[in-house]
């Protein structure tokens, strides 16, 4: 199933029977059965009726509200998905240092391994590039993960790996756009803007998914609790940063699907953002990417959206059993 992105400013999301309809100025822009929707994302000045929200709740569909530029403002969810047994186990595990450290190591090791595979895949396909320095640094740090004995040193290791990764990522940007390193809040260039938007969409999907399964998305294990931050969603996002958002961003930039003309400078924040029509195109590319079939390590085929759920279910099983968490492994 797909996600519905409502971006047309001034539009209204309504319920007609068991269908969701988007209208503006008396014209119907979209008409789709609610049963074909997994989630709804509302961007900016878009209205919705209580009847539409009730239909979403009845179908177990979550709604996320975002600013026009893509900042997550909040989520609406049905109380039927709340699983107090799972949440009690989640809270209990957060007080068990060995479980927290074990899970954090798995998350960081998975992130570094996936970053390494991504860089090597790109280097394999672009023999003119020398990405050995970055890949060697990340591999060395990945092999040190299990030896870390606390979250602080693990965070330091991850930070060093991130610097090596984005240095290599800059070499991998082949289009007309420049990338001088990862910068955010605000994004100073188009590549950073695309990365931030991609991370936000994956974070939002995972947060809604965790809530639907019964977790409290705001209590993470690796990322420490922070007001208004779904830290558990940030935990699971780490494994998908390079294989999903990194690959998608490079594809959009290197294939010149987006260029500098697709962005505008926001005078208030000083950051770059996609223009409205370009953002709509981005959502089409994102949906295509997260639903595209791909190999699943000898298990047949899957897609990233299915992998989000699988990893959330793996986390549920680990929390309920106090066992080990198996991170997602990207392969090529």
Half-sphere exposure of 241 (CA within 13 A, CB side): 26
pLDDT of residue 208: 87
Residues in the chain with pLDDT < 70?
1, 79-82, 297-299, 332
Distance of alpha carbon 103 from alpha carbon 325, whole angstroms: 6
pLDDT of residue 239: 96
Question: Any idea where the domains of the chain sit in the sequence?
Answer: 2-81, 84-321
pLDDT of residue 147: 95
Is the N-terminal amide bond of 211 cis, ω within 30° of 0?
Answer: no
Spatial contact of 220 and 234, defined as CB atoms under 8 Å apart = yes
Question: H or E element: which one contains 194?
Answer: helix 190-213
Check: CATH 2.60.260.20 for 84-321?
no
Helix (H/G/I), strand (E/B), else coil: 305: helix
CA distances from 82 to 77, 151, 217, 229, 233 (A): 9, 29, 11, 19, 16
pLDDT of residue 176: 84
Q: What is the pTM of this model?
A: 0.88
Architecture (CATH level 2) of domain 2-81: Ribosomal Protein L15; Chain: K; domain 2 (3.100)
Distance of alpha carbon 48 from alpha carbon 154, whole angstroms: 44
CA distances from 26 to 7, 9, 22, 85 (A): 17, 14, 10, 47
pLDDT of residue 192: 96
Within 10 angstroms of residue 148's Cβ, the number of other Cβ atoms is: 19
pLDDT of residue 298: 63
Spatial contact of 129 and 123, defined as CB atoms under 8 Å apart = yes
Strand 72-76 relative to strand 62-66, pairing: antiparallel
Distance of alpha carbon 196 from alpha carbon 200, whole angstroms: 6
Domain 2-81 matches domain 84-321 at the CATH topology level: no
Structure-derived torsion over alpha carbons of residues 120, 126, 130, 131, reported in degrees to the nearest 10: -30
Question: H or E element: which one contains 302?
Answer: strand 301-302
Distance of alpha carbon 121 from alpha carbon 90, whole angstroms: 36
Q: In what order do the strands lie in the sheet with 27-33?
A: 27-33, 19-24, 12-16, 47-48
């Amino acid at each position: 199933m797909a996600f519905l992105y409502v971006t047309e400013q001034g539009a209204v999301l309504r319920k007609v029977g068991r269908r969701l309809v988007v209208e503006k100025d008396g014209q119907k822009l979209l008409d789709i059965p609610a049963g074909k929707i997994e989630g709804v994302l509302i961007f900016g000045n878009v209205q919705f009726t209580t009847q539409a929200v009730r239909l979403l709740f009845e179908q177990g569909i979550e709604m996320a509200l975002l600013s026009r530029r893509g900042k997550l403002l909040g989520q609406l969810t049905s109380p039927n998905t709340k699983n107090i047994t799972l949440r009690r186990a989640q809270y209990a595990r957060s007080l068990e240092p060995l479980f927290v450290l074990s899970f954090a190591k798995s998350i960081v090791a998975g992130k570094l391994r996936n970053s390494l595979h991504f860089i090597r895949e790109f280097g394999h396909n672009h023999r003119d590039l020398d990405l050995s320095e970055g890949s060697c640094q990340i591999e060395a740090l990945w092999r040190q993960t299990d030896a870390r004995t606390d979250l602080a040193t693990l965070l330091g290791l991850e930070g060093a790996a991130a610097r090596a990764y984005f240095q290599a990522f800059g070499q991998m940007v082949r289009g007309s756009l420049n990338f001088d390193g990862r910068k955010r809040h605000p994004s100073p260039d188009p590549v950073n803007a695309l990365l931030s938007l991609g991370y936000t969409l994956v974070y939002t999907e995972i947060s809604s998914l965790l809530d639907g399964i019964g977790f409290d998305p705001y209590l993470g294990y690796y990322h420490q609790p922070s007001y208004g931050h779904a830290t558990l969603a940030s935990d699971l996002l780490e494994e998908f940063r390079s294989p999903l958002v990194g690959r998608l961003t490079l594809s959009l930039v290197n294939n010149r699907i987006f260029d500098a003309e697709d962005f505008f400078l926001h005078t208030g924040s000083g950051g770059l953002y996609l223009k409205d029509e370009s953002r709509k195109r981005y959502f089409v590319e994102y949906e295509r990417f997260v639903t595209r079939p791909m190999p699943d390590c000898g298990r047949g085929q899957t897609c990233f959206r299915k992998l989000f759920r699988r990893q959330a279910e793996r986390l549920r099983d680990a929390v309920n059993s106090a066992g080990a968490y198996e991170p997602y492994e990207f392969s090529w």
